[in-house]
Structure 1
Amino acid sequence: MSNSQVETVTTSADKAKLAGAVVLLAAGLVAYYALAKQGPIAQWAALLVLLAAAVAAFFTSEAGKSLIAYGRDSVREVRKVVWPTHKEARQMTGYVFAFVVVMALFLWLTDKTLEWVLYDLVLGWKR
């Protein structure tokens, strides 16, 4: 990890931005239902405009900025990954399927062997 420090310090302005984002989101939902008589275009326009304002308010806060930084770091890390070729992916998938089949057969044989030992030999129950 590149950043191992945990920062929990928030300012009152940051808290106000987050509260404003929540209020804008709630206002968008209220406007959507309040404008039901105006038609779907007015409903969706009000919802989308207030939702966009809420998102903008959130991304100007420290939490939003750290979310953007986290996204950038994630993209940077994904670019470092060496992805397998199509052939390698097919081979690994085949290995996994073969292993699953072998393990299923092993567990089935183990189950049947234990069933035979316990029920037929130890308890003497015949089916």
Structure 2
Amino acid sequence: MKANNAETPESSSAVDTIKWIVVFVLLAAAVVGNYLYGDMSVAIRAAGVVVVIAAALGVAATTSKGKVAISFAREARMEIRKVVWPTRQETMQTTLIVLAVSIVMALALWGIDGIMVRLVSFATGV
């Protein structure tokens, strides 16, 4: 937590609890409203559900766990920017190598399986 936080942990926790209750009530309202207004146009119901879910996410983002989640998402986005993605040629070469090795292994296992079946049938006389 930040040192200049004016709220006490108890009041922050109580406010967060109320906010989470509001979030769950909004989500339940989206589900129930979608069910109750089933005779309305799908586009109108979808728009209503999207608006209610956006409101729920907005409320959730103001909680302490919501702020941590947003911070994590920002950091993950920065890390993704640091990734060096393979070129098209590297991707194609790697894909072909994996495909070739998979085919060779499949043929080898098929051959071993055939040999084992013949050995077992020879040993059992079936």
Give TM-score scaled by structure 1 length. 0.75
CA distance in 1, matches of 2:114, 2:38: 65
1:5 aligns to what? none
1:67 aligns to what? 69
Q: Name stretches of at least 5 consecutive residues in structure 2 with no aligned partner.
A: 1-9
Identity of aligned residues (%): 35
| Deviation (angstroms), 1:76 | 1.5
Q: Give the number of equivalent residue pairs.
A: 115
CA distance in 2, matches of 1:111, 1:33: 55
CA RMSD of aligned residues (A): 2.5
Q: Any idea what the Cα deviations from partners look like across 1:96-116, whole Å, max 9, x if unmatched?
A: 001001101110111111112
CA distance in 1, matches of 2:30, 2:36: 10
Structure 1 residues 47 and 106: CA distance shift in structure 2, 3 A: closer
| Deviation (angstroms), 1:52 | 2.3
CA distance in 1, matches of 2:83, 2:44: 46
1:3 aligns to what? none
CA distance in 2, matches of 1:115, 1:35: 63
Q: Name stretches of at least 5 consecutive residues in structure 1 with no aligned partner.
A: 1-8
Aligned partner of residue 21 in structure 1, secondary structure:
helix
